[in-house]
Amino acid sequence: MRRARPDAATAVLVTLAIGGAAFFVLPLFALIVRAPWSTAIGELSAPGVAGALRLSLVCSIAAAALSALLGVPLAWVYARVPFPGKTVVRALTTLPMVLPPVVGGIALLVAFGRRGVFGEALDAVGVRLPFTTAAVIVAETFVAMPFLVISVEAAFRSMDRRYEDAARTLGASRGHVLRTVTLPLVAPALGAGLVLAWARALGEFGATITFAGNFPGTTQTMPLAAYLALETNIDTAVLLGLALLAVSLVVLIALRDRFLSLA
């Protein structure tokens, strides 16, 4: 027999690969099968659920915007301005990407809580963060912004700075160059960073529940509501899970050129 036989190594690899794919596909499949499609509209429009949806959207968009407002300048400084201790500062601001979100929540609480290190000063001027909608946004920004910073910093580093030189020889001030050349050139990376940060904020659970609590209408976002629903109404939990899944899927498709490209 001289016919080619699949060798043992290939067989093992393919079997494990099928297992790996099933590992992701089966739970998602179950989510779809188990969903109470007939009562879906009713479940999702229940006051608590609708409130969580709205709150999630508002807070995640706000967190993404805040991430861009603070993150783009941060990325620019990391890419362009040398300063002592940059490695350390940069590591600290990247930490939330790998830090357990609960730890982030605890850190925020001991910093800005009413008896926190900076909380008393805030309290003195009438600002009370913990357990408010603002706290949700802060918690989400805390975990989401590093994704935007990483993406935009890489773009600032890799762009051809001679475009900025060209703009200056044409008479553009530094501010004008930033607005009309630098930012447009990093726009694709900024877009990707925004979507990543927004998706991360939307799914945020640990830091939010620790720092902002779980109050329907003010701090109970979709992931929190889904977790809570598990104890009372699993149908709602499944539907909320599906809604978050759909959003994630859309994000992945939107960014497919960046993360799914094999080329």
Question: What residues line the site for other proteins (CB under 8 A)?
Answer: 160, 162-163, 165-173, 176, 180-181, 184-185, 187
Cβ neighbours around 21 below 10 Å, total: 10
The least CB distance from residue 83 to other proteins, in Å, is 20
Would you say 163 or 227 has its CB closer to other proteins? 163
The least CB distance from residue 41 to other proteins, in Å, is 43
Q: How many CA atoms lie within 13 A of 20 on its CB side?
A: 6
Distances (CA, A) of 133 to 55, 140, 211: 8, 11, 11
Would you say 163 or 215 has its CB closer to other proteins? 163
Would you say 19 or 82 has its CB closer to other proteins? 82
The least CB distance from residue 263 to other proteins, in Å, is 18
The least CB distance from residue 181 to other proteins, in Å, is 6
Please give the Cα distance from 125 to 86 (Å, whole number).
32
Would you say 164 or 235 has its CB closer to other proteins? 164
The least CB distance from residue 161 to other proteins, in Å, is 10
Backbone angles phi, psi at 71, to 5 degrees: -75, -35
Would you say 97 or 178 has its CB closer to other proteins? 178
Using alpha carbons only, what angle is made at residue 47 by residues 139 and 135, rounded to the nearest 5 degrees?
15
Q: How many CA atoms lie within 13 A of 48 on its CB side?
A: 16
Of 191, 183, 104, give the one whose Cα is nearest residue 141: 104
What's the chain's length in residues? 263
